[in-house]
Chain A
Amino acid sequence: MVFLTSSEENSNNLSPDVDAIPANLMRWEYLLIGYLAFASYLVWYVSENLLVWEPEESIWGLPKPIAGALMIALTWIVLNFVLFVTYYVVITKRVKTAHLVREGRKS
């Protein structure tokens, strides 16, 4: 095998963020399964109810298919910012902890 491993590489050369990112799923990350269930419902709702040509009807003043696409796009863009803040805070905190642990080992 040609790859470097953590035991071959001096662990001090690795950035503390490598230690801080867990190999397992963090407990709160399982919530994303719930989100996927919600996303499935949204896909069903838009595809079965809004992908139609009904020029006399509208949602938010827009034609139904366009409003449906907007619902989907707004969902993922909001989720993007929520997840960004969450991951940034969680991993930054874990990096600081990992750094302290490393300093503790040195001393």
Chain B
Amino acid sequence: MSISPWSLVVLSTLVIFFILTLVAGYVGAKRTKKGLHEFYVAGGTLSAITVMFTYMATYMEAWEFVGMPTVIVSEGFEWWVIEMIFYLSFVALFYLVSLRIYKLGKLHKYITPTDMIIHRVGGFERLLRILIALMILYATIIYIGMIYIPAAGVLSAATNGEISYHTFLALYVIFIVIYVSAGGMRAVAYADVMAGVTFIVAFLAMIYSTFVYWGGFDKLAWAAYTSDIAPQIFQKTQPFQYFWTMLIFYGISWLFIPHLVVRFYAAKDYKGVIVGGMGSNAGFFLGAFMSPLLLGLSLAAYYGSNLPEVEVVEGYVPMLFMTLFGVGPLLVLLLLGLIAITRSTIDSMLLLVSSIVDVDLIERGLGIKVPERNRRLVTTLVIIGVALLSVVIALAPEAPMVIIGFELCWPAYSVIAWPTIVMLFWRRANKYGGFASYLAGFLSLILFTYVIWPEAPHNPFGVWEGTLPTLVSLATLIIVSLVTPPPPKEFVEEYYGLKK
């Protein structure tokens, strides 16, 4: 089979990028001191600037740069508006919740997100560790698989399908496994900085095209709004309650997304949390608002209903770049940006999963003792296992990544996040209510999604998919806690740091 020189350039771009990040991983590994706290949360010493880039990289991945523009033309503009709605509640409560998580992380030297949950519940430790680990694993495997889709789809589309989606998928997974196995949190953080810088360059290229190609933002907006695809995509199809439950349940649940929580633990001081949060939220304005809007409108304006043929819809974005900029150095740079942002979340999530399986499930949940010298080996094996398992989601995707996320992935995070956030403040919650809430939330999620209402939105009320399981979880927390004895006063004072 012959491959064109351009396709070889695309392939080489992927290889070179991963070699560079391997170097970052190697440097990170050399600097990594012994011990889990350093390996997983960088010893809690990341500065505000590094924290800011790691927050941004955590969110601004393929979801915003590729998934959202694509969904504007494939499913409708309303899905992108829903993402904006999410920020209304997420940004509002970000500082309130993140500072409390940071405080507890510093007070009790947590390593994994599960640590905080287990500690607060204050009982049923083994069972709860296993349950939470399974819940996070369920969500994260879908999440990683979901991001593989644009990661491979973008590169395949950039070669005009000469190198297949599945070839890039296999290459991508292999590189990710090698990279994360070689480093640690610090390596991921450094590579995130690289991803952030590359992203800014890609974003500037899009601003340039908006003004030079379309003649300004308003002209681009009207070109999209009067294209032949506009009557279909600029219409509301979801009821108001879907939008509103996204604001309340989806937005707030992201304040305890596991891979963000470890970033709070990793912050050096409160300034790291606050400045990092402000900077990353400002970055979201570019990355989550401007970037998908410009790209999505460009797709609608340029192609209308004649969208290009691609293996997965996320391939529209590189096709547009190729059309606007031609094949050349700028496109290589843009592809680098796309590779960087698709990768930055995957590797940090794999690291998170490895910490959860390694610490929560194997060592503390199941009680299997692994000698320190073998810990890295176990971690590596876990990363490989999860990376491979996630491929199942990406092998033959039936929906755009954004829809998979809204429907299947984020609801699972919501049933973890909501009881946890409530217990950050509600001292009356006890171990019975805590344990029962996670169990009821997860069971109802599985039941509603796969058994009772297998069709989206998995409920008869038109609310967001995660709403009902989250409500079940919260109701269980409150009712069970109130009908059983309160937690010991000593425990509450110790947990919240009230003892002087």
| A residues apposed to B, CB below 8 Å | 1-7, 9, 14-15, 17-21, 23-25, 29, 32, 35-36, 39-40, 42-44, 46-48, 51-53, 55, 61-63, 65-66, 68-69, 72-73, 75-77, 79-81, 83-84, 87-88, 91, 95
Contacts and interface: CB of A to CB of B under 8 A. Distances in A.
Contacts of B289: 69, 73, 77
Contact of B80 (A15, A21, A48, A69): A69
Contacts of B91: 76-77, 79-80, 83
Interface string B234-249: 1110001001100110
A29 B96 contact: yes
Interface of chain B: mostly helix, strand, loop or mixed: helix
A72 B84 contact: yes
B31 interface: no
Contacts of B119: 1, 3
Contacts of B495: 5
A3 B108 contact: yes
A22 to B, nearest CB: 9
A73 B425 contact: no
B268 to A, nearest CB: 9
A43 B230 contact: no
Nearest to B217: A62
A39 B87 CA distance: 10
Q: Which of A32, A66, A72, A77 has the most CB of B within 10 A?
A: A66
A81 B274 CA distance: 11
B221 A51 contact: no
Interface stretch (B55-63, B275-283, B413-421, B432-440): B275-283
Contact of B231 (A1, A18, A53): A53
Interface of chain A: mostly helix, strand, loop or mixed: helix
Contacts of B293: 66, 69
A26 B109 CA distance: 24
A80 B282 contact: yes
A36 B110 contact: no
A65 B269 contact: no
A4 B281 CA distance: 32
B218 A84 contact: no
B269 to A, nearest CB: 6
Given A63-B234, A73-B285, A81 B88 contact: no
Size category of the binding interface on chain B: 35 or more
Contact of A3 (B109, B297, B496): B109
Given A83-B91, A84-B277, A95-B270, A7 B499 contact: yes
Contacts of A39: 88-89, 92, 247
B491 to A, nearest CB: 9
B240 A63 contact: no
Contact of A73 (B84, B89, B93, B109): B84
25 contacts: A1-B122, A4-B108, A5-B108, A6-B497, A15-B106, A17-B269, A21-B103, A23-B498, A32-B92, A39-B89, A43-B243, A44-B243, A47-B236, A48-B236, A63-B234, A68-B81, A69-B293, A75-B88, A76-B90, A80-B91, A80-B278, A80-B282, A83-B92, A91-B274, A95-B270
Interface in B209-267: 218, 221-222, 224-226, 230-231, 234-236, 240, 243-244, 247-248
B11 interface: no
A40 to B, nearest CB: 6
A81 B109 CA distance: 30
A52 B235 contact: yes
A36 B244 CA distance: 11
B222 A63 contact: yes
Contacts of A15: 106, 269-270
B56 to A, nearest CB: 13
A55 B225 contact: yes
